[in-house]
């Protein structure tokens, strides 16, 4: 940015009520001041650029670290959810096995006032489709199939 000498001469005369000419030594001092200021500003710009670069590097490191912590927290939460779901499934499995046991016991005892008629047999081929909730004998599997048919019919 070039300095307009005539403008400076005019401003100096108006503000300070003194006469300055184009060849006055004040312009030499002003030039030296300007060169010194430019050098300081250039150094400052380099230092600010280095500080910004260091900040960006630190920000990337913090971002990576935060990502690792978040990923670990998500893994921990997912493991806890899986454990809770597995526990719920196991409890439901135990309850269904207990219910099947009670149904099996109820069907194995003769009912009061029972007739000689047998309960209708489940559809042929259903035993291989049904998968029992717990490892029972073949008779229990038949009772399970009957219970499932009764539930489906109802």
User: What is the H or E stretch that residue 152 is in?
Assistant: helix 138-153
State which H helix or E strand residue 56 sits in: helix 25-108
Query: Is residue 124 predicted with pLDDT exceeding 80?
Result: no
Asked if residue 147 belongs to a domain, the reply is no
The pLDDT of residue 137 is: 46
Residue 54 belongs to some domain of the structure: yes
Q: How many other CB atoms are there within 10 angstroms of residue 146's CB atom?
A: 17
Percent of all residues in the chain with a pLDDT value above 90, rounded to a whole number: 40
108-144 b/e (C-beta count within 10 Å ≥ 16 → b): eeeeeeeeeeeeeebeeebeeeeebeeebeeebbbbb
pLDDT of residue 130: 44
Reduced to 3 states, what is the DSSP secondary structure of residue 2?
coil
- Whether residue 31 lies inside any domain: the answer is yes
Question: What separation in angstroms does the CA of 6 have from each of 3, 26, 27, 37, 153?
Answer: 9, 14, 11, 22, 107
**In the prediction, which pLDDT does 53 show?**
97
Average pLDDT over residues 97-119: 74
5 domain-assigned: yes
Question: Would you say the pTM of this structure is higher than 0.85?
Answer: no
Task: Report which of residues 97 and 129 the model is more confident about.
Answer: 97
Q: Are 137 and 97 in contact (CB under 8 A)?
A: no
- Specify if 70 maps to a domain: yes
pLDDT of 39-91, one tens digit each?
999 999 999 999 999 999 999 999 999 999 999 999 999 999 999 999 999 99
As a whole number, mean pLDDT of residues 15-25 equals 85
Q: Is residue 141 part of a domain?
A: no
Cβ atoms < 10 Å from Cβ of 12 = 15
**Is there a domain that residue 120 lies in?**
no
**22 contacts 9 by C-beta, under 8 angstroms:** yes
Domain containing residue 58: 1-83
Q: How many domains does the chain have?
A: 1
DSSP state of 6: H
In a domain, 65, yes or no: yes
């Amino acid at each position: 940015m070039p300095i307009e000498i005539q403008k400076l001469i005019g401003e100096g005369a108006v503000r300070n009520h003194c006469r300055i000419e184009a060849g006055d030594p004040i312009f030499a001092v002003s030039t030296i001041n300007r060169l010194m200021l430019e050098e300081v500003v250039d150094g400052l710009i380099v230092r600010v650029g280095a500080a910004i670069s260091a900040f960006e590097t630190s920000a990337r490191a913090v971002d990576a670290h935060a990502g690792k912590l978040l990923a670990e927290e998500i893994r921990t939460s997912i493991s806890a959810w899986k454990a809770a779901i597995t526990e719920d499934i196991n409890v439901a499995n135990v309850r269904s096995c207990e219910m099947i046991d009670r149904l099996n016991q109820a069907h194995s005892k003769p009912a009061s006032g029972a007739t000689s008629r047998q309960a209708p047999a489940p559809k042929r081929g259903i035993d291989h489709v049904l998968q029992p909730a717990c490892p029972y004998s073949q008779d229990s599997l038949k009772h399970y199939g009957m219970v499932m048919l009764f539930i489906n019919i109802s």
